[in-house]
Each structure stands twice: as C-alpha cells, then as structure tokens.
Amino acid sequence: MTSPTVPAMCFVVGNILKQIPQVPNWTIPVVLPFVGAFLAVAMNAWNPNYAFTGFMEGSSAVGFNELASRTIKATLNKETK
C-alpha cells in the first residue's frame, strides 16, 4: 500500500510545473499520473498494483487541484459581487 505522500508530492509537482512558462497547461494532467506511478513504485517496489495505485493517486491530485481552484474562484467571485 502506498502512503498519502504520493498524491501530496504529485500536487506539489503539478504546482511547480504550472509555474514554468514553457510547460503547457494541458500537459500537467497527462504527466502527473505517470509521476504518481513512478513515485509509488520508487517508494515501495516494482509491482503492477503499486504502479496502478500511483497512477490513480496522480490522477486524484489533478482532480483535487481542480476542485480547490474552482472552489476558491467561486468564493472570490461570490465575495466581489
């Protein structure tokens, strides 16, 4: 089983990639699941279950980032009206 650090690390990597102007935004959701798979396998051992779990954790980091950013935008828009 992987630890909760994999999605957190993917979240951080995604935010770092977002700050790099040469990296198009559309590549971040494509890259993060693979980063998650790599991290999960690196933290544990090679096992397809770890790779799949890391892939899903990287995807969840993308979803969490989208949820957080849309919630913040909605809250700020609501406060400015």
The 10s digit of each residue's pLDDT in 34-50 is 999 999 999 888 889 98
Query: Does residue 56 fall inside a structural domain?
Result: yes
Query: Does residue 17 fall inside a structural domain?
Result: no
Q: Tell which residue, 49, 56, 50, 47, has the closest CA to residue 10.
A: 56
Report the run of H or E that residue 25 belongs to, with start and end.
Answer: none
Q: What is the extent of the structural domain holding 53?
A: 27-80
Please work out, in degrees rounded to the nearest 5, the angle formed at the alpha carbon of residue 26 by the alpha carbons of 34 and 62: 55
Q: How many domains does the chain have?
A: 1
Segment 57-66 mean pLDDT: 88
The one-letter amino acid code at 31 reads V
Query: Does residue 3 fall inside a structural domain?
Result: no
Segment 7-23 mean pLDDT: 91
Query: Does residue 6 fall inside a structural domain?
Result: no
3-state SS, residue 1:
coil
Alpha carbon 72 to its chain centroid, in Å, reads: 17
Query: Does residue 16 fall inside a structural domain?
Result: no
